Amino acid sequence: MYRGSFVALVTPFKEDFEVDFDAYGRLIDFQIENGTDGIVPCGCTGEAATLSHDEQKKCIKFAVERIAGRVPVIAGTGSNNTREAVDLTRYAKEIAADGALLITPYYNKPTAAGQIAHYTAVAQAVDIPIMLYNVPSRTGVNMDPKTVAELSKVPNIVSIKEASGNVDQASQIVSLCNINVMSGDDSLTLPMMAVGAEGVVSVAANVVPGEVAAICAHANEGDFAAAREVHRKLTPLFKGLFIETNPMPVKATLAAMGLIKNVLRLPLTSMTEPAYARLKPILQDLSLV
Residues catalogued as catalytic: 133, 161
Which among 180, 171, 230, 225 has a CA at the least distance from the CA of 205? 230
Write down how long the chain is: 289
37/124 Cα distance (integer angstroms): 28
Alpha-carbon distances of 60 from 47, 66, 93, 131, 267, rounded to whole Å: 13, 10, 11, 16, 23
Which among 168, 162, 203, 163 has a CA at the least distance from the CA of 180? 162
225/237 Cα distance (integer angstroms): 20
Q: Which amino acid is at 122?
A: V
Residues 6+ apart with CB under 8 A from 190: 215, 219, 224, 227, 228, 231
CA angle 167, 172, 174 (to 5 degrees): 95
121/250 Cα distance (integer angstroms): 34
Contact between residue 119 and residue 102 where contact means Cβ atoms under 8 Å apart: yes
The beta-carbon contacts of 61-66 under 8 Å, at least 24 apart in sequence, are: 61/95, 62/21, 62/24, 62/25, 63/9, 63/24, 63/28, 63/39, 64/95, 64/96, 64/97, 66/24, 66/25, 66/28, 66/29
110/80 Cα distance (integer angstroms): 9
